[in-house]
Structure 1
Amino acid sequence: MVVRRSRHRLLALLCGVLAALTLGTPMAAAAERAGGSRPEAAAGWLARQLVDGERFEVVFDGVAYPDQGLTLDAVFAFATAGVADDYGAGALAWVTRPDIRDGYLGDGTTEVYAGATAKLALAVQVRGGDPTDVGGVDLIARLRSIQSPSGRFTDRSAFGDFSNAFSQSFAVLALDRTATGVPSTAAAWLAGTRCPDGGYPVLPDQPVCTSDVDATAMAVQALRAADRPADAAAGLGWLVSVQGTDGGFANAAGAPNANSTGLAAQALRDGRRPLAWARARAFLAELQVGCASAPADWGAVDFDGGAFDPTTAPRATAQAVLGLTGIGYARLSAAGAGPGAPVPACR
């Protein structure tokens, strides 16, 4: 009888642990009934932060400038959470407006930015659009036009070349969804930037190759999409090796945070590292604002768990949603996403 009861207790404990690791983990019992899962609550908060329901802005010296990159991060977050589809449509419509689009991508002749072009192309694909005709602009042809013989996608600009691991990874992910696929040289170039420890740097050709969590999370997803599993596995192994005891990840700044952990968690689940993903997800859950805070903040994800900072929370929340679901960029789709921004019903 004692043995049987002990087994029952152990089974209950294991079931509780597994339940805590599922995607539908609620902020609270009441939140699950009204606002849904953690990713849904986070995406709902993010949608409500959009200026005029369509964009994010960055304020510098009292002047507001469009933030197309963060707006696209929100588009990805809404798709992975499966909510706020109407906000996602409005956000993409704003980014693809000719004046907003060209300010982000460049004019296509004297200025072409690889990372921006690839990221917008991927966002259009995620939402089921045609990246070869975005207001008359063929993003795929433009992206291919700036690939160097080495396989690297480089910026064309009078201000210099700002391309990096993110640019290359987004380019590989976007081209993977096209009929002709990823040029082998593009994937080979990215794989060739790997550091001796297995991780990937933000910038190649540095005197000392320094692996970066964010860059590695992006690179392994791109390399998996490009069918280079060994190169991706090396990066995933490095990510697991640098994961903190609390499950979080730190970037070059040195502090575990939602941004780096969100990207790493996404890569870990996509790369079939479920235990490391579960630990990273638990870290993100601890950063999510719950019912004890101000109602306007419910569902947001704080950057590092300190005093809630509304200026860093939108980007932290957008990237945290990716980690909370663990759906990789290569599989991301807005198909079936519902409208509206879920609001947790806290008591």
Structure 2
Amino acid sequence: MHHRNRPIRTAALALSTAALGIGVLAAPPASADPSPALRAAQAAASTDSTPSTIAAEWIAGELSNGLITTLQGPDFGLTIDTGLALATVASQGGTVTAINNSLEPRIGEYVGDGTKESYAGALGKAATFARTAKKNPTSYGGVNLIARLEERTANVPADPAAEPQAAAFAGRIFDKSEFGNFANVVGQSYAVRALTLAGSAEAGAARDFLLKQQCASGYFRLDFAKADVPNQSCTEGAAGSEADPDATALAVINLVESGDRSAAVQGALAKAGTWLAGRQRGSGAIRSAGAGASINTNSTAVGGYALGLLKNRDAALKAALWIRKNQPVDKYKCRTALTRDTGAVAYRRDRVTAATTTGIPADARGEWRRATAQAILGLQFAPASKDKLRIVSVRREARAGDNVQFQVYGLAPSESACMQVKGDFLRVKGKKSGAKIVRKLQLPTGNQRRVALVKTSDDEARTSLRVRN
């Protein structure tokens, strides 16, 4: 079934980054209705659902009994990321339900037992997924995720003047754990979203503390200040207040999806959107921050999706085009070792090159899963083709061995395809402009009519011409 001109019917739901641990149906499937934010963002856009659909199909196939697993056991954080991503793809409601059915009975393994161990960021993210799966976050696997999250959210003191330090970190989330406190800005953004949608009395303070983590330039930092530091706000130029594009993008996504329309939030979103757009390169890619910073799919996907929700469609489109280039579709005569993993998205382009002959290495599969889960969001803004897929020969007749010119129309920008005739083939990608692609194929021997084809991941077109020896 061809998706290229079908509007995407999805739900805009964020997924987290490495900062939160990345990283049989028994109930009716969860729906995948688009959120109001995504509906509004895509209202004037012509998008191609093919890349997000095939990415979703691939990662759904990576689940084992509803969970993403590693040699060490289930990766609950990445499983939730996968579920949140799949919830944005109309055909994957059943898979979201399967994930929920496996996750809900084991949610304590992810969020802690609630006594000795209770992880604030995980609680916020789990509550977000519960709501996405049409479940009640106040009674999820026997756990009241909202009440637990409120316990991990610092209260506003009765007399702020008498308790200035408590007032400074009011609304901040804290882990309770013998292993330490690893709560950060990404977790705070999920907490704000979960508490706001639950109508919690602590939502306002959590939101205000999140907004303190935005620096003057518009970006959000990743880590909080130490709890005993009087200044709990982001301070541009100071150690610990470095820009983090992933934290910024996820703060935007979660604030948008929280539905908070306050002036403070709208102002913060506008500043963050301007900063993210300025961070984007001409290619559409976004570079990560911190040690080992690189241009990569994860940062580009969440950044592009955030920009799309803010209705900066040009920036979102550019990001989607760059991501789609990292989604190899080598099928038919263009087959490679990656063909069996069609739909998967690479973290960086060099991973595609390396895996073309060997396939995805076992020890790299986790990276491809993480990249693909987040890529699904960025690919929601991939532009559609402007024409029906077709291939045209410039000649009606030719001699065997001739290099004959063919014109291909209807490839979406950055879409991969295989042009082929018996004995010859070429890999091609759609132009950013959506214009026709002109390539030559060598004709085989034999006095007969030959068929030339162009094939994408989900469509094909053909033409024919007479060949004479």
Per the normalisation by structure 1, the TM-score is 0.80
**Residues 153 and 172, structure 2, Cα contact 8 Å, conserved in 1:** yes
Percent of residue pairs bearing the same amino acid type: 31
1:56: which partner in 2? 68
Alpha-carbon separation, structure 1, partners of 2:296 and 2:306: 16
Correspondence for 1:172 among 185, 189, 192: 192
Correspondence for 1:215 among 247, 250, 258: 247
**Residues 261 and 280, structure 1, Cα contact 8 Å, conserved in 2:** yes
- The reply on whether 1:263 has 2:263 as its aligned counterpart is no
Letter in 2 for 1:217: A
Letter in 2 for 1:140: I
Which stretches in structure 2 are left out of the alignment for 5+ residues? 1-44, 156-169, 226-237, 353-363, 383-455, 461-469
Q: Which deviations, in whole Å up to 9, do the C-alpha atoms of 1:216-240 show, x marking residues without a partner?
A: 0011223333331101111111111
Alpha-carbon separation, structure 2, partners of 1:345 and 1:285: 15
Q: Which deviations, in whole Å up to 9, do the C-alpha atoms of 1:20-41 show, x marking residues without a partner?
A: x73216xxxxxxxxxxx11111
Which stretches in structure 1 are left out of the alignment for 5+ residues? 1-20, 26-36, 328-342
Structure of higher CA gyration radius: 2
Q: Which has the higher contact order (CA 8 A, sep 6+)?
A: 1
Per the normalisation by structure 2, the TM-score is 0.60
Give the 3 Å change call, closer, same or farther, for CA 326–138 of structure 1 in structure 2: farther
Q: Which deviations, in whole Å up to 9, do the C-alpha atoms of 1:149-200 show, x marking residues without a partner?
A: 3111111111111000111011111122224476211111111111232101
Residue 201 of structure 1 deviates from its aligned partner by 0.8
Alpha-carbon separation, structure 2, partners of 1:23 and 1:326: 6
Correspondence for 2:182 among 162, 165, 172: 162
Q: Which deviations, in whole Å up to 9, do the C-alpha atoms of 1:238-264 show, x marking residues without a partner?
A: 111110121011112322111111111
1:93: which partner in 2? 101
Correspondence for 1:109 among 90, 115, 119: 115
Residue 51 of structure 1 deviates from its aligned partner by 1.9
Residue 306 of structure 1 deviates from its aligned partner by 1.3
**Residues 114 and 154, structure 1, Cα contact 8 Å, conserved in 2:** yes
Letter in 1 for 2:279: V
- The reply on whether 1:42 has 2:86 as its aligned counterpart is no
2:86: which partner in 1? 78
Correspondence for 1:130 among 136, 151, 154: 136
- The reply on whether 1:301 has 2:345 as its aligned counterpart is yes
SS at match of 2:350: coil
1:273: which partner in 2? 312
1:284: which partner in 2? 323
1:24: which partner in 2? 48
2:374: which partner in 1? 319
Correspondence for 1:192 among 186, 208, 212: 212
Give the 3 Å change call, closer, same or farther, for CA 47–117 of structure 1 in structure 2: same
**Residues 113 and 157, structure 1, Cα contact 8 Å, conserved in 2:** yes
Alpha-carbon separation, structure 2, partners of 1:344 and 1:130: 38
Alpha-carbon separation, structure 1, partners of 2:51 and 2:64: 23
Alpha-carbon separation, structure 1, partners of 2:184 and 2:178: 17
Higher helix share: 1
Alpha-carbon separation, structure 2, partners of 1:204 and 1:157: 17
Alpha-carbon separation, structure 2, partners of 1:146 and 1:208: 23
SS at match of 2:113: coil
